[in-house]
Amino acid sequence: MTALEMMKALGLAADEEAAGKLTEYNAMVIAMSKKVNLTGIKDVEESLVKNVFDSLTVYDEKYFPKGGRVLDLGTGAGFPGVPLAVLRPDMQFILVDSIQKKLNFIEEACKNLGIGNVKCLHIRAEEGGRRRKTREAFDVVTARAVKAMPIISEWALPFVKVGGIFAAMKGPGADEEMKTAGKILRELHGELAEKKELALPGGDRRCILYIRKTAPCPKNYPRKVGIAEKKPILGE
């Protein structure tokens, strides 16, 4: 399957220039991951499905407002942040990771491909969520394969504007995870707006939880670095 076919399959405006950028970015990720650990996947075709296609599944026009701001938390090799930025050149994307060398790769690759709406931010989620400049500043926050729902919810929701969306990209265990995150979601004013279940070409099952933020998060969240992981707030 080509990137153009993937865009069509997802019902996205199939634009050859965008498809070309997705194809090249994917090839760069695979080439680089032979040298440094960027993604577990080492094959171009497999990465096109499991990284690029999978990244695009989180896209839904109704949650991505024209000219808005998106933050991708724990972006790793730029997933889903870079494919989304290619799809929506009108929006600004901030890609956050705690590992600088991954961000160096993304910056270099985006520069080479002329992807101008991506900025990388080297910070821990728990620090970024407390900073004035990034707290409650994003229409959408995405996170794929970062942490279990109670932890990633505590990290992500402080970045979201009131009325905005936290999109958690999960696998088949999403329902169970959602149950364990009930308490922290209530505390941070996140409400499940939509659950999208789908399968990747090849059959792997995915589930995207779209959480709407309905009010500002209490000032004491996120807790200090490492606390959400050590003492997650669990419960229905």
Q: How far apart are CA 83 and CA 233, in angstroms?
A: 32
How near is the Cβ of 13 to ligand SAH at its closest, in Å?
A: 24
**Checking DSSP bridges between strand 205-213 and strand 92-97, what pairing results, if any?**
unpaired
Question: Read out DSSP for 75-127?
Answer: -TTTTTHHHHHHH-TTSEEEEEES-HHHHHHHHHHHHHHT--SEEEEE--HHH
Instruction: Give the residues lining the site for ligand SAH (CB under 6 A).
Output: 39, 74-77, 79, 96-99, 102, 124-126, 144-146
Q: Is there a contact between 69 and 117 (Cβ–Cβ < 8 Å)?
A: no
How near is the Cβ of 117 to ligand SAH at its closest, in Å?
A: 18
Tokens of 164: 């905005």
Query: By C-beta, is 41 or 211 nearer to ligand SAH?
Result: 41
Alpha-carbon distances, residue 217 vs 118, 136, 143, 145 (angstroms): 26, 9, 18, 23
Helices vs. strands in the chain: H and E counts, helices first: 11, 7
How near is the Cβ of 145 to ligand SAH at its closest, in Å?
A: 4
Query: By C-beta, is 15 or 101 nearer to ligand SAH?
Result: 101
How near is the Cβ of 77 to ligand SAH at its closest, in Å?
A: 6
Q: How far apart are CA 119 and CA 125, in angstroms?
A: 16
Query: By C-beta, is 124 or 183 nearer to ligand SAH?
Result: 124
Query: By C-beta, is 76 or 232 nearer to ligand SAH?
Result: 76
Q: How far apart are CA 136 and CA 201, in angstroms?
A: 35
Closest residue to ligand SAH using C-beta atoms: 76
How near is the Cβ of 206 to ligand SAH at its closest, in Å?
A: 12
Q: The tokens 């990747």 sit on which residue?
A: 200
Query: By C-beta, is 144 or 206 nearer to ligand SAH?
Result: 144
Query: By C-beta, is 146 or 157 nearer to ligand SAH?
Result: 146
